[in-house]
Amino acid sequence: MRRASTLASSVLSRTLSSTLQDCSGLSTTSAATINHRFLHAALLSTTSTGSSNTRRIFNPFSTYLGVAGALVSAAAAASLSQEVLAKEPPPAELVPKEVVLYQYEACPFCNKVKAYLDYYDIPYKVVEVNPISKKEIKWSDYKKVPILLVDGEQLVDSSAIIDKLGNKIHGKEIVDSASDKDDDEEKKWRRWVDNHLVHVLSPNIYRNTSEALESFDYITSNGNFSFTERITVKYAGAVAMYFVSKNLKKKYNITDERAALYEAVETWVDALNGREFLGGSKPNLADLAVFGVLRPIRYLRSGRDMVEQTRIGDWYTRMENAVGESSRMKA
């Protein structure tokens, strides 16, 4: 039993350290710091090794702490009351023959890529990565998600994936057609999504134990877990992420989670400046990025509060209409 506990501690510790970066946007140093602190804070047992005592963890909850920034994926699109906007599929000859997304279902960055694929009606397959073994991506030197394979070519990092895929399916003619002003605005708000918006999400969906359990109920139901992992991670993971969210609040100077979320989405609505989308009459890449990272929380308590307490609802509904049904291929 002692050997099993030690082995589990080692595996889960490495998992926590690496997967905290996979989809949360944390730097290597930050992830390592959080890993160190929470492995010790959550200590369950002490075992003797030789003449010294070495602390060991046998905590299944660390299995899915890689979803620190990873949130709960949205349910199927709600019934839409507005007229559905036309999607923008690329010319048939430019559509990749095979697109495969390696992801965590609840990851906001993965959902950002999916929003892009869905909007442009690009068929894609999904491979759900097990956050412990990561056996699904052992073939790759890159050990984070999302990873997108496009006709055999590996693309990594959500924003870079979208840029490179856009060049493939649109060509330089469309990319160069935007004005410098529009291009600068789009880039500014895409950076804002990656550098600010995603960081206010985790403290909100894990702000108390009931909301953390709500989140992990979905995560464990849809993630790539064994039966045992699914049972243990739901409860222990919810407790762990509650404490991790407090650490993230300090890191990003957040005092009131909901206020920070409301302020962020109100800032986005102000940026629209009366337009249907930041892109004008149709979504641009910034619209898709904001929609993608918010989509996982929309039907959680935090997302419901967000829509009820801010002006984001109308824009969000327009985005649901514009993006439409998923182009994900059935397994």
Annotation marks residue 316 as catalytic: no
DSSP 193-234: HHHTGGGGTHHHHTSSHHHHHHHHHHHHHHSS--HHHHHHII
Query: Is the alpha carbon torsion for 289, 261, 32, 8 positive or negative?
Result: negative
CA distances from 47 to 39, 52, 273 (A): 15, 9, 60
State how far the Cα of 182 lies from the Cα of 76, in Å rounded to an integer.
32
Annotation marks residue 104 as catalytic: yes
State how far the Cα of 62 lies from the Cα of 59, in Å rounded to an integer.
6
Contacts of 258 (CB under 8 A, 6+ apart): 204, 207, 302, 305, 309
Annotation marks residue 110 as catalytic: yes
My answer on whether omega of the bond before 108 falls inside 30° of 0, hence cis, is: no
Given a contact cutoff of 8 angstroms between Cβ atoms, the answer to whether 145 and 106 are in contact is no
Annotation marks residue 107 as catalytic: yes
Looking up tokens 């397994």 gives 331
CB-CB neighbours of 31 under 10 Å: 22
Residue tagged active-site, from 61, 64, 102, 104:
104
Residue tagged active-site, from 38, 109, 262, 277:
109
Which residues have a catalytic role annotated? 104, 107, 109-110
